[in-house]
């Protein structure tokens, strides 16, 4: 198990450092985790450790089954229970990122989704990035971080959104979570989400009374051009 943890720690460390370089985090805000489903472990940034002091051995392995720390003296990110619920509910999720990136967080604070307004969005996410309902008092008082994960899962179930097609969410009055096939892709999605949120707010500024949404057939065509079985973007299928 030690060897599994080492590879996972290195992957998660690399992804955390990529997040730090991305400009999406300020101070110690933000965290990245990755998962090894065979080993039954996620691994995540320790709580409150500055990025410039972060080394692979600081990354904290946590049991997917019990939520307990494995083989570390450090306390994992306080958001760990949120990550845990996402791994449990979304079977293809291989990495999770949480940031307070300015534009995505502003929309979360406004209680607004990141609207799917064009092909840049549809290239990455098949429809709006939803915003959760606010947590109830009891959900905040006890197991707050776990309930944050559960309200994300509830949002995708109630709105019948596939977490594979929309790998991002805004938690109301809080901020964005993104995920992906591994920790590195989850970081890429955090960067894309912030860019889309920035453009959405620019559209709010330019067209305060609202805009005509792109037709579903345009959204689907772009999403499937990159992600469907008939994808013809990139060099896949070529040598």
Residues with Cβ within 8 Å of 132's Cβ and at least 6 positions away in sequence, in order, are: 151, 152, 154, 155, 169, 170, 171, 172
The DSSP code for 37 is: T
The DSSP code for 232 is: -
128 is catalytic: no
17, 54, 64, 112: residue in contact with a copy of itself (rule CB under 8 A): 112
Q: Name the residue among 201, 227, 179 with its Cα closest to residue 114.
A: 201
Residue 36 or residue 61: which is nearer to a copy of itself going by CB?
A: 61
CA distance 183 to 59: 13
Site string for a copy of itself, 128-167 (x = CB under 8 A): ------xx-x--xx--x-----------------------
Cα separation of the two ends of the chain = 36
Catalytic one of 52, 79, 123, 143: 123
Residues with Cβ within 8 Å of 136's Cβ and at least 6 positions away in sequence, in order, are: none
Minimum distance, C-beta of residue 58 to a copy of itself, in the bound complex (Å): 10
Q: Per CB under 8 A, which region of 7-15, 82-90, 150-158, 202-210 contacts a copy of itself?
A: 202-210
Q: Applying CB under 8 A, which residues contact a copy of itself? A: 26-27, 29, 46-49, 73-75, 78, 100, 102-103, 105-112, 117-120, 134-135, 137, 140-141, 144, 172-175, 188, 191-192, 195, 198-208, 211-212, 214-215, 217-218, 221, 225, 232-235, 238-239
């Amino acid at each position: 198990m030690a060897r599994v943890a080492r590879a996972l720690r290195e992957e998660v460390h690399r992804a955390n450092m990529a997040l730090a370089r991305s400009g999406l985090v300020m101070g110690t805000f933000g965290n990245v985790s990755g998962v090894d489903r065979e080993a039954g472990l996620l691994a995540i940034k320790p709580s409150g450790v500055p990025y410039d002091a972060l080394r692979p051995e600081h990354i904290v392995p946590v049991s997917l089954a019990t939520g307990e720390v494995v083989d570390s003296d450090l306390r994992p990110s306080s958001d760990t229970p949120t990550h845990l619920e996402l791994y449990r509910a979304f079977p293809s999720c291989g990495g999770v990122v949480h940031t307070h990136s300015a534009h995505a967080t502003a929309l979360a604070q406004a209680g607004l989704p990141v609207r799917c307004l064009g092909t840049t969005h549809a290239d990455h996410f098949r429809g709006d990035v939803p915003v959760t309902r606010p947590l109830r008092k009891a959900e905040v008082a006890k197991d707050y971080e776990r309930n944050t994960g559960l309200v994300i899962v509830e949002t995708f179930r109630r709105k019948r959104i596939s977490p594979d097609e929309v790998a991002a969410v805004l938690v109301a009055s809080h901020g964005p979570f993104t995920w992906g096939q591994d920790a590195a892709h989850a970081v890429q999605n955090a960067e894309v989400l912030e860019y889309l949120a920035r453009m959405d707010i620019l559209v709010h500024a330019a067209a305060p009374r609202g805009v005509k949404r792109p037709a579903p057939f345009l959204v689907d065509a772009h999403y499937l051009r990159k992600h469907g079985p008939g994808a013809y973007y990139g060099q896949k299928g070529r040598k």
